[in-house]
Chains A and B, each alone.
Chain A
Amino acid sequence: MSKSWGPHDIGGQEGGPIDLSEHDTAHWEWQIDAMVRLSLSKGLISDFAELRDGIEHLTQEDYDSCTYYERWAKSLAYTLVSRGVVSEQQLADKIDAVRARQEAQGLA
């Protein structure tokens, strides 16, 4: 078999039993999904391919440890910063603000 070229290229690899349990989609996950769709419809990104590309460029460690919507979030951030829609500094500052707010609310 040809060599897998990214952490996503896993068809045919070994794997364990499948967890069949159902998981409700959390509100924040719906928000990430909506953010991706709106980024597309508002022209912030031109095609879903950009999002897949971002996910494919995650490190193996990130890919394995992140949940599905966490991967989307990281990929979209990479894409929008690359495109200049938001700056690295703005994003870093806002992440700090989110962390501070969550700590103040006793969430983190």
Chain B
Amino acid sequence: MSTPLFSVGQQVRIADRTPPVHHRVPAYAKGQVGVIERVCKLHGEPEKFIRGDGKPAQRLYRVRIPQSGLWQGYDGTAGDDLDIEIFEHWLEPTE
């Protein structure tokens, strides 16, 4: 589906799962809540490249997560954050 499911500013949760194949979601980001910072383009799905051509292409997003939410005892300002690229099929709305 090429119409993005999520929009800029929307709060989302990154799924916490570990498929037994190559995927591009770091452990530290799984299960985290953030906000869509931008809607990116359609790209081949990493999980589908190993035994195929990555199709169908999936929508990619950048998700912004406050550092204070990511790490216990984070040593920085309340405004420090981390932006990460996540594919649509890894995102759920929080409400």
So, do A and B actually touch in the complex, CB under 8 Å?
yes
Chain A interfacial positions (CB closer than 8 Å to B): 1-5, 9, 11-12, 46-47, 49-50, 52-53, 56
Chain A residues near B26 (CB-CB < 8 A): 9, 11-12
Asked if A50 and B49 sit within 8 Å, CB to CB, the answer is yes
List B residues 1-27 near A (Cβ within 8 Å): 16, 18, 21-22, 26-27
Asked if B27 and A49 sit within 8 Å, CB to CB, the answer is no
Contacts A/B (CB < 8 Å), 28 sampled: A1-B27, A2-B28, A2-B30, A2-B31, A3-B18, A4-B27, A5-B18, A9-B26, A9-B27, A11-B26, A11-B27, A11-B29, A12-B26, A12-B27, A12-B28, A12-B70, A46-B49, A46-B53, A47-B49, A47-B53, A47-B54, A49-B44, A49-B46, A49-B49, A49-B54, A50-B50, A52-B22, A56-B22
CA distance A53 to B49 in the complex (A): 10
Chain B residues near A56 (CB-CB < 8 A): 22
Total A-B Cβ pairs within 8 A: 45
Chain B interfacial positions (CB closer than 8 Å to A): 16, 18, 21-22, 26-31, 44, 46, 49-50, 53-54, 70-71
Given contacts A2-B16, A5-B18, A53-B22, contact A47 B27 (CB under 8 A): no
Asked if A1 and B28 sit within 8 Å, CB to CB, the answer is yes
CA distance A3 to B70 in the complex (A): 14
Extra pairs beyond A1-B27, A47-B49 (6, CB < 8 Å): A2-B18, A47-B53, A49-B46, A49-B49, A49-B54, A53-B49
CA distance A53 to B54 in the complex (A): 14
Asked if B50 and A49 sit within 8 Å, CB to CB, the answer is yes
